[in-house]
Structure 1
Amino acid sequence: MAKVVTMGEIMLRLSTPGFEKFIQADEFDVVYGGGEANVAVSLANYGHEAEFVCKVPANEIGECAIAALRKMNVKTDNMPIGGERLGIYFLETGASMRASKVVYDRAYSSMSTATVDDFDFEKIFEGADWFHFTGITPAISDLAAEVTEAALKVAKAKGITVSVDLNFRKKLWSSEKAQKVMSNLMQYVDVCIGNEEDAEKVLGFKPGNTDVTTGELELAGYQSIFEQMVDKFNFKYVISSLRESYSASDNGWSACIYQAKTKEFYHSTKYDVRIVDRVGGGDSFAGGTICGLLDYPDDFRKALEFGVAASALKHTILGDFNLVSKSEVEALMGGDASGRVQR
């Protein structure tokens, strides 16, 4: 069992019931989530020691966010308390050709106004094997970007493996600013995870003729940019999820990986997924792939297959968190995609 630390912003998610549009909704369903928190939950489900770090407000909503993590066996021992509020996002779930929509209400949140002095990273990283962050955290504020780099410096000094999910969010920052900030942070990263849009918007690499809006994939283009990314940033692995968007309800889902040491490129099994809840799908892929790299250190192909299967299952679960067990993921990896009732 490895100790994995993730850091970011946990948020209150308010989603319309079923597939209602915002204008139809008289109430919202409540869950908690956020990129790095979702990864921590996945890893705890798979048996690893997962700790999440975030600043939350000293009120009942902050307490509820912490409780949601503790319920999933995620450690929250080093969470600073203070600030004005917990960030919120509103979700309208799409269907068929109607896309899902997200509206953020996270300005002046506790995490966005946190400073380096709020965190004792020497203590946080005691005994840690892995540290994971996403491009969302440095995007929420300049202060959060400073906190992220401070954490990365300590993690790297301690020899901890570092992974990033690039996660470009156009509602939080521009591509120009993302490239400036994130390119600097890549010097600390060992494992780079993202998708085709992230690679282009965050680091400036576009994989051939791939079109994120149609899901048309050109795998040779991915291998080429992975090699370029390794040359520029010295990553050990570059990994991309591959989403073929048939509609908001049905996607093809697979992934590819490049190992710098052997210069090998691998494309995973593809799953055709009927989507129940897409939010958190990429996070579940990151969490599953991290688990795979930890549990199958000599087989990066199997590690990727674990991540893809885990995230395919997450698309069938409501809420941000992936609630599947390791045995359920392994059953799908073994070919059991029948969906038959388990008695």
Structure 2
Amino acid sequence: MGKFITFGEIMLRLAPMNYDRFVQSKEFGVVYGGGEANVAVSLANYGKEAYFVTKLPKHEIGQAAVNELRKFGVHTDLIKRGGDRVGIYFCEKGASQRPSKVIYDRAHSAIAEAKREDFDWKKIFEGAEWFHFTGITPALSDECAAITLDAVKAAKEAGVTVSVDLNYRKKLWSTEKAGKVMAEIVKYCDVVIANEEDAEKVFGIKAAATNIEGGELSEEGYRDVAKQLVERFELKSVAITLRESFSASHNGWSAMLYDGNEFYKSKRYDMTIIDRVGGGDSFGGGLIYGLSSGMDNQAALEFAVAASCLKHTVEGDFNLMSVEEVDALAKGDASGRVQR
């Protein structure tokens, strides 16, 4: 089995207890997480040889982030040590009609100030099978964009499958810059993952007959989005997650996959949400696991959607579900009955 490499930023997450608001909270819970780290943890939980690549300070907070990854079986020996700070984000959980809120304090983090010479991608990809990153990483700095481009080029030269979750973040860059940078990077990708907004924000490809705020998503519109992405970038497949947001606590959840020839649609889950942060990453981790483990496209999609559905019930960024638990839901056991 080859190495599964993910590359990005792991952050310190500070969150008010329970459903407190920022302005009323007197204490914050501490966890670590970030898009690509979350995928690595999922893959490690599923038995893959998962490696996370980033840059972290040598001090105790940087070490705490490393320790957290190690606790869940993620290999950390490819992490570059240096820089001054770990990025922070504050997360206030929403409920009912009150949305969740995120405040970033990540400027000048170690990875945002990393240099191209920090990473020997040829060596990193020795024995690798899969490489995954998100659109968040190249948004951190111009140098991070260059590092990511170096990474995808090296991955393709090494014959490694490359996947990207577009993950547009308006607090990090403009749609114009995202489109320009990501267009060059995605040329080297095999699999693209997007949500109901990403393709429009990054590449200007909008799904027709869709009202995201109103919870109205057009399956036919997203079929067209997937087709355009595959044709433009000559991709092997595109997966699009479809979130119907009725409130912060109640979402519909499904996804579709297009392999250039055929469309696949997952079953739909009606979710009551405990913590939605990391939901998209858990979908990515599930899809990578399914596609790399010999599942057919429909089975891989169902596994990914079930994994993500279960993540919405777990506090923190990481999806702490086993293959057996995900399989049970994917195969129809949604009762939630006590397992004795």
Aligned twin of 1:131: 131
Aligned twin of 2:284: 286
**After alignment, is 160-169 or 226-235 more displaced?**
226-235
- Which residue type is aligned with residue 130 of structure 2? W
Distance 1:123 1:212 in 2: 43
Aligned twin of 2:11: 11
- Structure 1 segments of 4+ aligned residues over 3 angstroms from their partners: none
CA contact 1:199–1:205 (8 Å) conserved in 2: yes
Q: Secondary structure of 1:24's partner?
A: coil
Aligned twin of 2:304: 307
- Which residue type is aligned with residue 191 of structure 2? V
| TM-score, structure 2 normalization | 0.99
Aligned twin of 2:273: 275
**Count of aligned positions:** 340
Shift of 1:120: 1.4
Shift of 1:163: 0.2
**After alignment, is 205-214 or 122-131 more displaced?**
205-214
CA contact 1:296–1:302 (8 Å) conserved in 2: no
Q: Secondary structure of 1:305's partner?
A: helix
Q: Please state if 1:74 is matched with 2:74.
A: yes
Give the gaps of 5 or more residues in structure 2. none
**After alignment, is 159-168 or 217-226 more displaced?**
217-226
Q: Please state if 1:156 is matched with 2:153.
A: no
Q: Secondary structure of 2:102's partner?
A: strand
CA contact 1:196–1:210 (8 Å) conserved in 2: no
Shift of 1:224: 1.2
Q: Secondary structure of 1:129's partner?
A: strand
Aligned twin of 2:329: 332
Shift of 1:138: 0.5
Q: For each residue in 1:61-110, what CA deviation from the matched residue of structure 2 results, as whole angstroms up to 9, or x when unmatched?
A: 00000000000000011111111100000000000000000000000000
Q: For each residue in 1:144-177, what CA deviation from the matched residue of structure 2 results, as whole angstroms up to 9, or x when unmatched?
A: 1111111111101111000000001011111111
Q: Secondary structure of 2:334's partner?
A: coil
Distance 1:59 1:288 in 2: 33
- Which residue type is aligned with residue 237 of structure 2? Y
Q: Please state if 1:228 is matched with 2:225.
A: no
CA contact 1:96–1:250 (8 Å) conserved in 2: yes
Shift of 1:202: 1.0
- Which residue type is aligned with residue 335 of structure 1? G
Distance 1:320 1:212 in 2: 24
Distance 1:144 1:11 in 2: 16
Give the gaps of 5 or more residues in structure 1. none
Q: Secondary structure of 2:81's partner?
A: coil
Query: Equivalences for 1:155-234 in 2 at 5 Å?
Result: 155-234=155-234
| TM-score, structure 1 normalization | 0.98
